[in-house]
């Protein structure tokens, strides 16, 4: 049964039982009243009840119609809401799918970047280990310093030469520990230190006659190169490579003693014919002090003229030739000229100096023939 008609049926049943009840009351009244005075109450009751029933049904049906209209409107609204909700759900699903895809792309990118960084760090660690191994395999002492002069790294050779541990050197002033004093014992101001200058002026500084001080308080002769460290045009410190030249200095002194003990005159020339060293015998025979001849042309000072007074051109000089052609030249009847302008007869050997495969000068050994005669 339609739900909208069920109340009507119930209402009709209620009116029916009411009419029956009125009928019984009316019948009871009619039995007690005279026939000529009695008005058929039952008819009026049915008429009134029918009228009331009709009004009630009208009102009831009108309300039901309103409820049905409202119900229809609510259904339409519900349908619209449902459609809207479905659209929202679709849009949400689409947005979630896009966000999920975007997150997956971002995660993939992050994972790739993380992997690249891990690989770069691993490569960096590998390179640092390799560099550390190279530094520790070097035969020279090597250490790095920052722009404040503090040690940033040091290799094993430097540790062995200086006597300080790596922990004692790292982060401390190199100058205060190993370069504070000159070899003659006077203080060495850091402003005058070539190592200090390298990380201040950005220039390479080379020193061949200096000393470093060990942890025990002793010093040793060194030669070193201080090279500035640059990072994107910014000066960040310096790298110092040094070697202990104590043995070579000792050999140099011994060689100097041997050379100065020789009875013959000995001097060295570079490829331009300029004097690089001279022993005492040569100084005595020529009358020149070593300091006066160093860096000067030997030919222009002591070999400029033949014995007969004619000019001696340098290109014809056997001594000069040894510096150019790499051959040994011997002369047994020549003259050298003293500082005072006199000459003396000499014989000499001019032997080329070859370092590696490069001709770097000559060594001349000569004798004063007047002494023997």
From residue 277, give the alpha-carbon distance in Å to each of 261, 290, 331, 345: 15, 7, 21, 22
From residue 275, give the alpha-carbon distance in Å to each of 227, 297, 299, 359: 31, 6, 10, 15
CA triplet 106, 110, 115: central angle to 5 degrees? 150
Q: Which residue has the tokens 């030919």?
A: 299
CB 285 within 8 A of CB 279: no
Full-model pTM = 0.51
Q: Which residue has the tokens 């008819």?
A: 43
Strands of the chain, DSSP E = 141-146, 151-154, 205-213, 219-231, 234-244, 265-270, 275-278, 329-337, 343-355, 358-368
pLDDT at 247: 87
pLDDT at 357: 84
DSSP 150: B
pLDDT at 274: 93
pLDDT at 232: 83
In this prediction, the residues of the chain whose per-residue pLDDT falls under 50 are none
pLDDT at 28: 64
Spatial separation of the C-alpha atoms in residues 351 and 349, rounded to whole Å: 6
pLDDT at 82: 86
Spatial separation of the C-alpha atoms in residues 98 and 101, rounded to whole Å: 5
Count of C-beta atoms within a 10 Å radius of residue 214 = 14
Spatial separation of the C-alpha atoms in residues 26 and 36, rounded to whole Å: 16
Spatial separation of the C-alpha atoms in residues 142 and 129, rounded to whole Å: 16
Spatial separation of the C-alpha atoms in residues 244 and 13, rounded to whole Å: 129
Residue among 178, 192, 114 nearest 141 (CA): 178
DSSP 33: S
Torsion of CA 53, 58, 64, 66, to 10 degrees: -150
Q: Given CA atoms 51, 52, 55, 58 in this order, what sign does their dihedral have? A: negative
């Amino acid at each position: 049964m339609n739900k909208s008609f069920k109340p009507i049926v119930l209402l009709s049943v209620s009116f029916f039982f009411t009419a029956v009840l009125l009928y019984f009351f009316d019948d009871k009244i009619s039995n007690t009243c005279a026939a000529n005075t009695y008005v058929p109450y039952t008819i009026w009751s049915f008429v009134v009840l029918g009228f009331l029933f009709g009004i009630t049904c009208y009102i009831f049906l009108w309300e039901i119609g309103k409820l049905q209209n409202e119900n229809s409107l609510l259904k339409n609204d519900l349908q619209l809401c449902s459609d809207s909700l479905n659209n929202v759900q679709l849009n949400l699903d689409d947005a979630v799918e896009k966000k999920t895809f975007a997150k997956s792309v971002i995660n993939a990118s992050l994972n790739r970047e993380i992997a690249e960084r891990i690989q770069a760090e691993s490569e960096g660690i590998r390179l640092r280990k390799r560099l550390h191994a190279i530094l520790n395999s070097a035969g020279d002492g090597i250490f790095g310093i920052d722009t404040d002069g503090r040690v940033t790294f040091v290799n094993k050779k430097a540790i062995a030469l200086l006597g300080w541990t790596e922990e004692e050197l790292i982060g401390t002033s190199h100058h205060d520990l190993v370069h504070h004093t000159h070899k003659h014992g006077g203080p060495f101001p850091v402003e005058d230190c070539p190592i200090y200058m390298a990380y201040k002026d950005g220039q390479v500084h080379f020193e061949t006659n200096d000393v470093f001080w060990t942890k025990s308080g002793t010093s040793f002769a060194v030669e070193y190169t201080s090279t500035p460290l640059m990072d994107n045009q910014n000066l960040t410190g310096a790298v110092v490579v040094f070697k202990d030249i104590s043995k070579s200095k000792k050999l140099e002194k011994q060689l100097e003693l041997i050379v100065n003990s020789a009875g013959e005159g000995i001097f060295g020339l570079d490829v331009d014919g300029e004097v690089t060293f001279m022993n005492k015998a040569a100084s005595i025979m020529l009358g020149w002090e070593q300091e006066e001849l160093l860096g000067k042309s030997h030919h222009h000072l002591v070999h400029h003229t033949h014995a007969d007074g004619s000019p001696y051109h340098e290109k014809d000089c056997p001594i000069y030739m040894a510096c150019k052609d790499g051959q040994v030249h011997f002369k047994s009847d020549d003259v050298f000229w003293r500082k005072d302008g006199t000459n003396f007869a000499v014989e000499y050997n001019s032997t080329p100096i070859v370092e590696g495969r490069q001709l770097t000068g000559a060594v001349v050994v000569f004798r004063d023939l007047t002494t023997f005669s």
